[in-house]
Structure 1
């Protein structure tokens, strides 16, 4: 993933690496109480989860403990405390993109903006129901990654918005490789839904950092 450019003509040439993006994050003022909110958005299969995990490691100064929503540091941990949330844990299945804001805004960001803990129940894709609860408390950095997370209402609370994109055919290949050939129709419908979402929300143009998910961004 190679850094492209930023909005408003402001080139962030010092962020051509994961470490560079981490430096940008640290340089931003907190926007969610004492927390810097980083939103990593872009079409499915572009590399958002990988980037979010690597960014969390760079901020923490040590490897992450896992890749799920519950992966977080306790306050006071060495380095920068980070929590990573994944939109895949929030959507109510393949048709869940339109209601993502109910979780991201109403259950996570709005409570945190009031100085309270956010909380939501993880969607179980196999049982088609909500499962265990994830509690989101103040950290140095909160990273939320996934298609649609940088909606307008969320961007107003963000310190940094990162857009990740890749070739559509490659994204479809990655998605099917991960989820199985029997999800091809779901993935193709999803690609239509996400295009409509991004056009409606103006997400790509609003991002501070653009990343090419076809390539590998150096540490």
Structure 2
């Protein structure tokens, strides 16, 4: 498996039920506000797919995508915006209605909205497990996977045009040093296999490291 430079392959992989992963995360559940769970991994790791499956297990939950915070703003320099406008209000048990300046400037409709009274809010995106956000996050998942396979997934999803290759090169120029500095795989509550040879039902099961 080809991993990020400095990342150590997790060990003791085993198949477990998604519901059991949720129970493990909810050990940290606070009173009076939703559990805030970060789901991180490199591009093509399967973050959005995993979060959607977790959301179905916890009906009273919603998802915040950091791509929406970063949209026309910055690849990774969005921590302050996320903390001040999303994480801090949720940590106080409040609601979120946040329309970014970049959305208004580029005529993107809508806003990031999160209701009150939820059990869990999943915050999904590359770079969410970072020191800056740690005081506001209750639990986290790192999705570890083979980088070659993840790159194949990205090509299948986003294409392989010259413009896309330039975008990927610019992204990697920031992603590699950022992840090397933050090392999210060392901080995660649960490490999930994004690529695995272990047989499991992806709709109800997941492969995790012990």
TM range (shorter): 0.7 to 0.9
Distance 1:217 1:20 in 2: 14
1:151 Cα deviation from its structure 2 partner: 1.6
Matches within 5 A, 1:132-211: 132-138=110-116, 139-182=118-161, 183-211=164-192
Q: Which consecutive segments of 4 or more residues in structure 1 shift more than 4 A?
A: 11-15, 127-130
What is the distance in 2 between the residues matched to 1:153 and 1:14? 31
Contact 1:25/1:160 (<8 A) preserved: yes
Q: Number of aligned residue pairs: give it.
A: 185
**Distance in 2 of aligned mates of 1:129 and 1:172:** 31
| CA–CA separation in structure 1 for the residues paired with 2:75 and 2:152 | 21
Residues 1:16 and 1:175: Cα distance change in structure 2 (over 3 Å): same
- CA RMSD of superposed structures (Å): 2.7
Corresponding residue for 2:16?
Answer: 16
Gap regions ≥5 residues in structure 1: 1-10, 61-80
Secondary structure (helix, strand or coil) at the match of 1:188 reads helix
TM-score (structure 1 length as normaliser)? 0.73
Alpha-carbon distance in structure 2 between the residues aligned to 1:54 and 1:166: 18
In the superposition, relative to structure 1, how do residues 56 and 217 fare at CA in structure 2: closer, same or farther (>3 Å)? farther
